[in-house]
Chain A
């Protein structure tokens, strides 16, 4: 499952220097980040299985893990969203995927998409996730917020909004 794989990737970093990114984002007060050896910023207040916010950049040519599909820079936002949805549906560990929303969105001035979905992971946890994505140059950026309970989701949604609003692309990679 995604959270498990991110935690694994981040744990692999062993608390060393996080991978450099081409974006900056503010970590809310009281939230902690887990350093990753991939260009991902994973943050949580009470633990990834309660709630998390995640910002990731990935090269366009890099195939997604389960569907092996790639996002190309000539794709329209709804096409990139299709690839993301296909990846989630191809993950054998995900059950009862339910797409609640799939709409265009603007992220830091870039044309993108916003998804809202529910799914159950291999351990039976039901996650509600908000997923923003957009293509910029040769990278695909995504910002996600997920929580295991509706009330938790609603409670920290405002905090994620702060993360979302603070997101900026930067010219030089930062750590």
Chain B
């Protein structure tokens, strides 16, 4: 369990270990490449380990890319890259690290990093955040693992094992943000050295945030937000209480370090509408995920944030319509109809919204309106996956207004 003394001890260790390792790495393999040529078995063990880690990183990242979960949105990518650049310590420049952030369409509230500088953050985590300072804390924590070469250290310094852990195991366990909050790989289960690395990353992230002029007090509010979110659900079962206690203790330790070592209580928080506007694509993607899995209230919360961030975008209103239609509580059909109508007003070429209006009218027996909407939708997207249904319903569509099909 992380204590205050542990945090301070880790801080001193952090200053020693990376320096030694970074020197060793200078003799190691070149900067990360998609496919890293493995050095011969006789090569320097540090260089060899580093290459094995990079090789494993490439393998895992290729699998992630192949899963089709990447959210590629230029504005969102640029925003995250800006934050990352502001956090990157000057000492890391020239170290061959190419830090970068990728967003993944995944409901699990998680983030993790790879030794080659790649950071992955899930939409499920992004939508739980309430300020840029909180987001910066997540990114800084992951960045700290990268610039400290924590994966390499975990393989080379493995005091509690006789054999070094395999690279795949290390990559999976270093910098797992959910574990940080007592998530699916609970903090309490981590080996002492891995826990130490997490603690060091915590402390380094405070330094990075302070250097980038973020408000640390507001950044640490992430603990409160995440404790009440779905992330807490990953820490259920008999270990749940222990998990929650570990997460609370960790938050308290960080707060104590903050109070003692960072007297400045000001700085930017980034809690305004701009923050949500920048994250709008993540909110929309997460809303779609929640909708597909029937988590309507979660879907609605995200869709409303996205719609507020981009009120003129037809897709946002169409998404709201989909949520109301499928949730189907009292009053929802009217809300769905209104949202679809708003969507087609904003973008008359949005085929899905026309078809959705057609379905609504068809169910209500308003066949003339259904036919008109279906035909418009079909004309706009004749090859869509739901064309079969539209044609089928059109064939059933009677032309007498008010008659139930």
Q: List residues of A whose CB falls within 8 A of some B CB.
A: 66-69, 74, 76-79, 82-83, 85-87, 89-90, 96, 99, 102-104, 113
Contacts and interface: CB of A to CB of B under 8 A. Distances in A.
Given A78-B359, A104-B392, A85 B292 contact: yes
Contacts of A99: 385
B389 A90 contact: no
Contacts of B389: 76-78, 102-104, 113
B393 interface: yes
Main secondary structure of the interface of B (DSSP, over half): helix
A79 B336 CA distance: 14
Contacts, number: 42
> Which of A68, A78, A85, A113 has the most B CB atoms < 10 Å from its CB?
A78
Contact of B385 (A66, A90, A102, A113): A102
A69 B291 CA distance: 11
Given A76-B359, A78-B359, A86 B294 contact: yes
Contacts of B359: 76, 78-79
A76 B388 contact: no
Contacts of A113: 389
Contact of A76 (B292, B293, B363): B363
Nearest to B391: A104
A15 B292 CA distance: 37
A68 B295 CA distance: 9
A90 B362 contact: no
Nearest to B405: A76
B265 interface: no
B67 interface: yes
Nearest to A90: B293
Contacts of B73: none
B386 A86 contact: no
Interface string B14-44: 0000000000000000000000000000000
Contact of B292 (A74, A78, A86, A96): A86
A96 B294 contact: no
Contacts of A76: 359, 362-363, 389, 393
A7 B385 CA distance: 33
A69 B389 CA distance: 22
Contact of B386 (A78, A89, A90): A78
Nearest to A72: B328
